[in-house]
Amino acid sequence: MKLYKMPLEERWKALEQLVDKEALEILKKDNQLPFEIADRMIENVIGRIQLPLGLLTNLKMNGKKYLVPMAVEEPSIIAGANKATKLTLPEGFTAEADESVMIGQVQLKVEDEKKAIEKLETLKEEVETIGKDLSSGLEKYGGGWRGWRYMMLKTFRGPFLLIEFLVDVSDAMGANTINTIAESLGSFLHEKDVGVPRLRILSNLAVYRKARAKAVWKKDVIGREGVEGVLDAYAFALYDYYRLATNNKGIMNGIDAVALATGQDWRAIEAGCHTYSAITGFKPLAHYYKDKEGNLVGEIEVPLAVATVGGATRTLPHAKASLSILGVKNAKELAMIMASVGLANNFAALYALATEGIQKGHMKLHARNIAIMAGAKTPEEIDAVAKKLAELKNYSLEKAKEVLKEIRGKA
Ligand code: MEV
């Protein structure tokens, strides 16, 4: 199915057979998010923003094919993901994810370290009971309390007794559950005179909630030069921090686009992924090596606190529609898809950068934006200007204006 070759109307028509009709109807609307809802979501609403929402059509993961909605403004991201995933077919990606275990933290200011610990030791059962009670609602979904520990944190502000607890939040992102428990434990420990609670909040470094994906790009498909090129690009990111940031940005291109499409807390995902890269020794989030046959193997491991229920996943109409199109049964499956897309976008960038460079493809796709900036109004005008700019290999705004004038002159 060559969706990118179809005009928008035709593309919608083609999708009617494949995706939930109601979801498609939501996405076709010019204004999906009513002001009344937007106004209740955040403070001082004055508008809504829009981004193009496109589809990754070639992802096969664990033997299943997916249509993956991605929201992003950069022209080459969905094109890159489509190319990278297509090159892994017919096998596609394999992926797995941990349970949805989140970390909560309670920071207690203490005067006397020894006394605080002694006191806490006598309250162990009660802490456990509070945690279990407050997370018992998650048990019917397979989640719930997963334990806790404490440690003394010595800082320039003196010692802090740190309580860290784990809760499996199932298909939610988990921030509300974790923060509620953290505040309750903080109050309880204050009441019992263990210490004065300061921060009571989840950790966005969701190391117990990682997703992993793997794919093989065959030597016969991408060529020996492709294999060697990607490995050289990977080595660059392994040994140079400036390259590492850009390399990981290419991974987040894919992860964030799915996060935005499906209504995730993308700031939490960004914070978690970059800190994870740092704690693993400032390493790229995805790794590459050659197998015995000389094929390129790519593997990614990323912490992903994502949700298929709660948060904005149901309040934002586009998120509801995207999740329906994606057809995932739980948050773990969504996380596996996001890890796969992150790996795909990383491969797409490294493969292009290490071989022909990205500007040729990027500028071809960007030409439509330049045409719009030059004043092209109708889809026909935009396409005609973009085509001419690509032919001329000149993507300047001046040239675009000139071409547009010429086209209008002829019309
Ligand atoms: C651009 O959005 C992303 C890249 O810079 C990623 C990379 O350099 O690996 C192309």
Asked if residue 292 lies in contact with residue 6, where contact means CB atoms within 8 angstroms, the answer is no
Q: Is the peptide bond before 90 cis (omega within 30 degrees of 0)?
A: yes
Backbone φ and ψ for 73, nearest 5 degrees, come out as -95, -15
3 state DSSP class of 376: coil
CB of residue 247 inside a 6 A radius of ligand 1: yes
Q: What integer pLDDT is reported at residue 321 of this predicted model?
A: 96
63: CB partners within 8 A, 6+ apart? 92
Q: What integer pLDDT is reported at residue 369 of this predicted model?
A: 87
Residue 191 belongs to domain with CATH number: 3.30.70.420
Residue 214 belongs to domain with CATH number: 3.90.770.10
Please state whether 309 falls in left (phi above 0), alpha (psi between -120 and 50) or beta.
Answer: beta
CB of residue 243 inside a 6 A radius of ligand 1: no
- Give the active site residues: 74, 249, 265, 362
Q: What integer pLDDT is reported at residue 256 of this predicted model?
A: 98
Mean pLDDT: which of 12-26, 293-307, 309-323, 396-410 is highest? Answer: 293-307
Of 335, 352, 369, the residue that ends a domain is 352
| Nearest CA among 64, 93, 105 for reference residue 207 | 105
Q: What integer pLDDT is reported at residue 304 of this predicted model?
A: 98
Same domain? 88 vs 228: yes
Per-residue model confidence as pLDDT tens digits over 186-202: 999 999 999 999 999 99
Same domain? 315 vs 375: no
Of 202, 220, 249, the residue that ends a domain is 202
Range of the domain at 391: 361-410
Per-residue model confidence as pLDDT tens digits over 86-128: 999 999 999 999 999 999 999 999 999 999 999 999 999 999 9
Per-residue model confidence as pLDDT tens digits over 65-90: 999 999 999 999 999 999 999 999 99
pLDDT top residue among 322 and 6: 322
Q: Sign of the CA dihedral 77, 83, 87, 93?
A: positive
Indicate if the pLDDT at residue 398 is higher than 90: yes
Mean pLDDT score of the chain: 95
Q: What integer pLDDT is reported at residue 364 of this predicted model?
A: 78
Indicate if the pLDDT at residue 38 is higher than 80: yes
Asked if residue 24 lies in contact with residue 16, where contact means CB atoms within 8 angstroms, the answer is yes
Same domain? 167 vs 215: no
Same domain? 328 vs 239: yes
Same domain? 222 vs 323: yes
Same domain? 327 vs 240: yes
Q: How many residues does the chain have?
A: 411
Same domain? 296 vs 399: no
CA–CA gap between residue 14 and residue 113 (Å, rounded)? 66
Same domain? 111 vs 89: no
Indicate if the pLDDT at residue 3 is higher than 90: no
Helix axis angle for 331-354 and 76-86, nearest 10°, is 100
For residue 223, what is the enclosing H or E element?
helix 219-239
| Nearest CA among 176, 342, 184 for reference residue 274 | 342
CB of residue 254 inside a 6 A radius of ligand 1: no
CA–CA gap between residue 16 and residue 251 (Å, rounded)? 31
CB of residue 349 inside a 6 A radius of ligand 1: yes
Same domain? 258 vs 318: yes
Domain count of the chain? 3
Tokens for 378, please give them. Answer: 């109708």
Same domain? 281 vs 299: yes
362 band by pLDDT with thresholds 50, 70 and 90: confident
34: CB partners within 8 A, 6+ apart? none
Mean pLDDT of 207-221: 98
Same domain? 304 vs 334: yes
Asked if residue 202 lies in contact with residue 182, where contact means CB atoms within 8 angstroms, the answer is yes
Q: Closest residue (by CA) to atom 6 of ligand 1?
A: 250
Same domain? 272 vs 227: yes
- Ligand 1 atom index nearest CA of 253: 2
